[in-house]
Amino acid sequence: MTPQQIHHARIMVECGCTIEDAAVTLGLKLYDAIYAAAPSLNCNPQEHARVRRIAAAMRLPIPAIHKEHRSVDVRTIKRRAA
């Protein structure tokens, strides 16, 4: 997985795409997409809950989700949209 794929997976999740969409679009396995987009899941609470359930069902360790590792500044996007 390249840094560019990680960056794009995070942007997709932050903008409202599902983790499955990110995996298929970028050609990643589901668990790779989960770990790539984990820092960005706080921006999308519904997807965050879904990913936690998916990871638990797959018996994957739940990825740590930190706000300081976001790939895109969400506040800037919200200001631009307003």
pLDDT value at residue 69: 52
Q: Tell me how far CA of residue 70 lies from CA of 14, 54, 56, 57, 81, in angstroms.
A: 9, 21, 23, 25, 19
Instruction: Quote the tokens at residue 45.
Output: 């609470």
Q: What is the mean pLDDT of each run of 10 residues along the chain (82 residues)?
A: 87 89 91 85 85 83 54 52 51
pLDDT value at residue 78: 53
- Delimit the domains of the chain by residue range: 3-81
pLDDT value at residue 32: 86
